[in-house]
Amino acid sequence: MRKSKISIIGAGVIGSTTAQCCASAELGDIVLLDRPALGDMTRGKALDLMQALPIFGYNAKVVGTSDYANTANSDIVVITAGLPRKLGMSRDELLAFNVKIVTNVCEQVKRTSPDAKVIVVSNPVDAMVQRALQVTGFPHHHVFGHAGILDSARYCAFLALELGVSMEDISGMVIGEHGDTMVPVASCTSVSGIPIKQLIDPNRLDEIIERTRFAGTEIIGLFKTTGPFYAPAAAITRMVEAIVRDKKRLMPCSAYCDKEYGVGGYYVGVPVVLGTDGVERIIELELSDSEQAAFQRSIEVIKSQVKTMAELA
C-alpha cells in the first residue's frame, strides 16, 4: 500500500514538532521544508527525527530540504511558514508580513502538488487560508485552516482543570475566528453528556471562556520569545490523520462558508466532517442568540482582515 506523502512548509518549532507527531503516528513519509538560508538546519532536524524513530519502533522516511521539487505530488501540504506571533503582537499585525510568505508558498504548492489537501497554520489563519485558496485555485474543500481543534482543546483542558475530571470526558467546541473573538460554544459543551451549565457557575464559565480566547497570548507571555507549539502540532496531526485514514472526523476547522451560516464566501472556524476528500461536509449548529451574535462579530473581524489583506497582497 502506498504511503501518504506529507510536506510541512516551515521547519520552525510548530513545523518540526508536527513532523515528529506525524512520523510517530506513522501517517506517511514526511518532507520538512524551509528557506535556503535554513537548509542545513532543516536537513539536520529531519535526520535527527528519522534516527529517533527506530528507538520507538516507528517507520517513516523523513527528508529535510529547501527545494520544492522534493515536495512534488504531496498528498497533504501543511503551511506553518511565516512570522510567529510575539509578545504584544496581535494576529492582525502579522498580515503584512505573512501574506507575502503564504502567497509565495502557495505558488510553489500549486506548481508541485496540484492535487494536495492544504492545511494552513500561518496566522492570522482565517485570512491566510483565504489567500491560499486565491493563489492555488484549488477546490475550496481541499484548502482549509487549522485552529478550531486547538482552541477547543484549550477550552476542554481548562474545563477539566476546573472540574477536577478527566480531559477525556469533556466535549466542547470553539468556532469563529482564531483570535480574540473566537466563540467557545457553551450550548455544545458537556461532561460525559452532562451540560456544562449544570456543573459550573455561569460567571465562572465566562471566565474560562475568556481565558480560552487568550490562551495563546498567555503562553507567549510565559515563553517571551516564541509561541506555543506542542498543542498546535497535536491539532494539526489530528487533521492529517483524519485525511490520511479517511476518519470522517467531526471537528472544527477554518472552512470556506458561502451559504452556510450566511457567511458569504469567507473562511471561518466551523464544525466539519474531515476525510480523504478534505472538508466533506459543514455542520450548521443551532446557536443561542448570544452565541449567534458573537459568531457574527467574529465573522466581521475575518472580513475586515481579508479586506486589509487584499490591499496588501
Over the Cα atoms of the chain, what is R_g?
19
Euclidean distance between CA atoms 230 and 238, whole angstroms: 13
**According to the model, what pLDDT value does residue 2 have?**
81
Work out the pLDDT band at 313, boundaries 50, 70, 90.
low
Q: Give me the architecture of the 5-145 domain, per CATH.
A: 3-Layer(aba) Sandwich (3.40)
**According to the model, what pLDDT value does residue 89 have?**
67
User: Domain residue spans in the chain?
Assistant: 5-145, 148-312
Question: By mean pLDDT, which of 36-50, 84-98, 167-181, 192-206 is the weakest?
Answer: 84-98
- Asked whether 85 and 91 are in contact (CB, 8 A), the reply is yes
Fold of 148-312: L-2-Hydroxyisocaproate Dehydrogenase; Chain A, domain 2 (3.90.110)
Residue 305 gets the label, from left (phi > 0), alpha (psi -120 to 50) or beta, of alpha
**Mind listing the pLDDT tens digit for each residue in 64-92?**
999 999 999 999 999 999 987 776 666 66
**Mind listing the pLDDT tens digit for each residue in 211-267?**
999 999 999 999 988 889 999 999 999 999 999 999 999 999 999 999 999 999 999
Query: pTM of this prediction?
Result: 0.96
Residue whose C-alpha cell is 498546535:
232
Verify whether residue 178 is a known catalytic residue.
yes
